[in-house]
Structure 1
Amino acid sequence: MVAIKTKVYHVAYAPAISKAYLFHWGCNLKCQGCLCNKEINCMALEENLDVVLRDPKLPKPKSPEQFLLLDELATILKKVPIKEVLFEGQEASIDPSYSDITKALKDEFGCYITLNTNGVKLPDLTNTDEIVMSLKAVTPDVYRAYTEHSNRNVLGNFCKVYQQGKKLRAESVFIPGMIDLDETEKIAAFVAMIDPNIPYRIDAYFESGAENPWRRATPDEMIEAVTVAKKHLVNVTCTQQTESKLEKKDLMYEVIRLY
């Protein structure tokens, strides 16, 4: 039997909801504000609750040196109850074994599978239940300035996933001075052209990347971002860490490391 190599380097798990988080290495964009400039493992782990406040000028985390074989991943997940699996990390969609992993998880656990993706490339979504696509920006020049790539495939793939009848959500990061209110509203308007009922989440930027000039988004700015997006969409939410220091009690549920 041929061993199937994956790009999974880290597995986190939330016992309260029986949900596993698979972190994949490798990306096809060069986002300036990528959180991997600060941390490459799950931010909800107890040792990483300080990520938002870490100095962005600290050295980047080292690249992972070990990746799981599919059989090894399955062995790890069999140790706990599994209802849901979220594919994330850098960019799970470009893992050559994506289809093998999702099929194996469906066959073994019958679990609900969600893919977090930048949408540049769509993998085989046969065994994927939900797609959360990060749109970054819809204005071509803004997208290219932030990622060094074109967003043509991304916008086309967002439409394609919707047409396939897959459950679909949109995300973006609000970055003062880069991806701001004007661009956030344009993203919302684009999503609304497809379906105004598609959920849209706006994440607050925190300093990540030693050379980036942008500051953290404020609570008032996030409220305003949600307000402009709601001109177009029914379901808009945002995320932001407002506590100066997170503790385990601040989390909705505990997350532990499986690998």
Structure 2
Amino acid sequence: MSSGVAPATLIPGIRLTSVFPRTKRNSDFIKPPMDFLSIHFKIVVMTRVYHIVKFQDGNAYLLFDGCNWRCKYCVWREVTRWSLCLPEKTRQQLDYLWKERKVRYLTVEEVERILEKERVKIAFLGGGEPTLDPELKPLMKALAKRGIKVWLVTNGEGLDDEIVDIAYGITFSIKALDEELHKRITGVSNSKVLENFRRYAKSGKIVAETVYVPGLVECEEIMKIAEFIASINPNIALRIDPLVQGADLEEVDKCIEKVKNVLNAYRIKVKGEVKPPKLLYPVV
């Protein structure tokens, strides 16, 4: 006789492990008295977090796997699934681990332990699209309870009142104001995006974001986005990201100066302008 153990599923979602007596044939189970039978169940719920880095300012960035959009220039699909600010050698090592299926999703508790150990001040939750993760709210609540501020980076489609209430801040992405252009870029309409932006624009937690894409989303379209934002809440800032795959920083900066006539605008530092972050997960 041997004891059977049901396989453990690490990615994604729920891991269920059961232990019970059985015969050599999986279909023939022994039926001893119930007081003799010992059954153990262990359920582990996984998030979709697969990568964490910590920057010099003490803040961490968590990457979630999966997205409901298919942006033509998506850096996570077209360039790398890891932090762009990591050294190339480190990203190659991480690629190897991923290929060998040695990277798994983390539980809420594992994320908590990693961030607490590093004394992280703010956790930026992005990716990917974090609102697709069924464990997003439990994770946000757990981090907030431990005094870690949660900043969500999202396309905005999956936002709801509870998420906005828990979040310390939200980077809300608007890829294009023109609906047909938005469909060309992402594969989906922007109607829900704009609806949610209007709904939460006065929460005091929103920073808008878009990407300058030569030949696709240039300053003319970005100005339309800026004017849309200003018409709802002129106090919201617009972050204009350079396209990773060959950005013209000079053109981006010129556009930023133009947008500043409508509302506050800026861009984040790109690779080469910021020190490499500390890799927290996966470990290489």
TM tier, shorter chain?
A: 0.7 to 0.9
Distance (Å, rounded) in 1 between the aligned partners of 2:269 and 2:49? 27
Q: Residues 89 and 62 of structure 1: is their aligned pair in 2 closer, same or farther, counting only changes over 3 Å?
A: farther
Rounded Cα–Cα distance in structure 2 between residues aligned with 1:191 and 1:182:
15
RMSD: 2.4
Distance 1:84 1:172 in 2: 22
Structure 1 match to 2:266: 237
**Structure 1: distance between partners of 2:234 and 2:148:** 28
What are the within-5 Å matches in structure 2 for residues 29-68 of structure 1?
29-36=69-76, 37-47=78-88, 65-68=103-106
2:146 equivalent to 1:117: no
Q: Report SS of the residue matched to 2:109.
A: helix
* Alpha-carbon distance, 1:50 to partner: 9.6
CA drift of 1:166 comes to 3.8
- Taking the aligned partners of 1:137 and 1:149, their CA distance within structure 2 comes to 11
The reply to whether residue 3 of structure 1 matches residue 3 of structure 2 is no
| CA deviation profile, 1:86-114 (whole Å, cap 9, x unmatched) | 00111111111010001111112x12210
Q: After TM superposition, which residue ranges in structure 1, 4 or more long, deviate above 6 angstroms?
A: 48-51
- The alpha-carbon distance between structure 1 residues 27 and 224, as it changes in their structure 2 partners (threshold 3 A), is same
1:149: which partner in 2? Answer: 188
Aligned partner of 1:184 in structure 2 is: 222
Task: Determine the C-alpha separation between the residues in 1 that align with 2:71 and 2:64.
Answer: 16
Counterparts in 2 of 1:99 and 1:166: CA distance versus 1, 3 Å: farther
- Where in structure 2 are there 5+ consecutive unaligned residues? 1-41, 93-97
Question: What TM-score do you get using the length of structure 2 for normalisation?
Answer: 0.74
Match of 1:213 in 2: none
Q: TM (normalized to structure 1)?
A: 0.81
* Other-structure match for 2:60: 20
Question: d(CA) in 1 for partners of 2:89 and 2:260?
Answer: 32
Q: Cα offset for 1:2?
A: 4.8
Aligned to 2:258: 228
Larger radius of gyration: 2
CA 1:227–1:5 in structure 2 vs 1: closer, same or farther (change >3 Å)? same
Matched residue type, 1:73: V
Shift of 1:4: 2.6
Q: CA deviation at 1:116?
A: 0.4
Aligned equivalents of 2:175 and 2:232: distance in 1? Answer: 17
Cα 1:184–1:78 change in 2 (3 A) is same
> Looking at both structures, which has the greater relative contact order when contacts are Cα pairs under 8 Å and sequence separation is at least 6?
1
Per-residue deviation, 1:254: 4.5
Contact 2:143–2:149 (Cα < 8 Å) also in 1: no
The answer to whether the 8 Å contact 1:12/1:21 transfers is: yes
Note the C-alpha offset of 1:162. 1.9
Displacement of 1:172 in angstroms is 0.5
Q: Given the superposition, is the C-alpha separation of residues 71 and 238 from structure 1 closer, same or farther in structure 2, using an over 3 Å criterion?
A: closer
Q: What are the equivalent positions in structure 2 for 1:129-148 lying under 5 Å apart? A: 129-148=168-187
Q: Does 1:193 align with 2:231?
A: yes
Q: Flag structure 1 segments of 5+ consecutive residues without an equivalent.
A: 52-60, 208-215
Per the TM alignment, residue 75 of structure 1 is displaced from its structure 2 partner at its CA by: 2.3
1:4 and 1:71 in contact (8 A); partners too: no
Question: Cα gap change, 1:49/1:158 in structure 2, threshold over 3 Å: closer, same or farther?
Answer: farther
- Match of 1:70? 108
Count of aligned pairs: 231
1:223, distance to aligned residue in structure 2 (A): 2.8
Q: Secondary structure at the match of 2:114?
A: helix
